[in-house]
């Protein structure tokens, strides 16, 4: 069911993504709510409209803020102070990166709430059209400046790693932007990678490969300056 810009199907899909990212079973949620497994499953598919009390109980069980799941339900007065950044403010951003060892282009989706400057990162999604089918979920914030937009995200489950994403703002009018993603590996080593950022999904695999694979010129600059420049 959809009410204006609100959809119970989307809300349910978000809850499912968070539940799976936290490795929580439907049975665990059903017991916490004192509901049947079938009812909880239908909350996630949108077959049953979840009531406010159950939603708040689920959010408490998941240790998340309900406002992060419901668009435009809270407001940060600081948003009024940044009209100059309104062209940078989009509700959804698509992230692409290439991982050489599996020779695969990976996809992520960021959803922004530009009334609170909070963001959710759905990491390694199966498809840009189904962002809530993902391997990991991160919560964080978005920050706008004249030169760039950057994000800081924390994994909602162990190992609670942090991801930062930096996107240049000066190329905002282009189809896509090249940015940098940095994180910590499972061995607690710093890691940074080249990413492509777009306000719309990109299906052109050649375009993605041409922009994401680190080329000889980039490696030459790395050896010359000892900095990874993208």
Instruction: For residue range 145-176, list pLDDT tens digits in order.
Output: 888 899 999 999 877 789 999 998 765 557 89
Q: Spell out the alpha helix ranges (H) of 105-185.
A: none
Mean pLDDT score, 189-198: 91
Question: Three-state SS string across 11-52, please?
Answer: HHHHHHHHHHHCCCCHHHHHHHHCCCHHHHHHHHHCCCCCCH
Of 169 and 104, the one with more pLDDT: 104
Whole-angstrom distance, CA of residue 127 vs CA of residue 120: 16
How far is Cα 52 from Cα 60, in angstroms, rounded to an integer?
Answer: 12
Measuring CA to CA, which residue among 201, 114, 200 is closest to residue 149? 114
Tokens, residue 85? 């950044």
- Which residues, 6 or more positions from 14, have their beta carbon under 8 angstroms from its beta carbon? 69, 120, 132
pLDDT, tens digit, 9 for 90 and up, residues 14-72: 999 999 999 999 999 999 999 999 999 999 999 999 998 999 999 999 988 888 787 65
* pLDDT of the residue at 116: 87
Mean pLDDT calculated for residue range 74-103: 77
């Amino acid at each position: 069911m959809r009410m204006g810009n609100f959809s119970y199907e989307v809300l349910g899909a978000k809850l499912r993504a968070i539940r799976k990212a936290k490795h929580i079973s439907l049975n665990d949620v059903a017991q916490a709510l004192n509901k049947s497994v079938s009812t909880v499953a239908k909350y996630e598919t949108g077959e049953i409209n979840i009531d406010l009390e159950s939603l708040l109980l689920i959010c408490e069980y998941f240790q998340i803020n309900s406002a992060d799941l419901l668009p435009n339900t809270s407001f940060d007065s600081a948003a009024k102070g940044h009209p100059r950044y309104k062209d940078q403010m989009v509700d959804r951003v698509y992230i692409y990166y290439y991982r050489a060892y599996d020779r695969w282009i990976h996809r992520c989706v960021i959803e922004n709430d530009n009334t609170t400057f909070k963001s959710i990162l759905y990491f390694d999604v199966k498809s840009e059209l189904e962002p809530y089918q993902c391997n990991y979920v991160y919560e964080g914030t978005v920050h706008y400046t004249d030169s760039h937009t950057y994000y800081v995200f924390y994994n909602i489950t162990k190992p609670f790693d942090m991801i930062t994403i930096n996107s240049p703002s000066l190329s905002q009018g282009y189809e896509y932007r090249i940015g940098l993603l940095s994180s910590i590996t499972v061995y607690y080593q710093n890691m940074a990678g080249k990413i492509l950022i777009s306000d719309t999904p990109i299906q052109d695999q050649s375009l993605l490969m041409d922009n994401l694979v680190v080329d000889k010129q980039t490696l030459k600059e790395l050896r010359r300056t000892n900095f990874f420049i993208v």
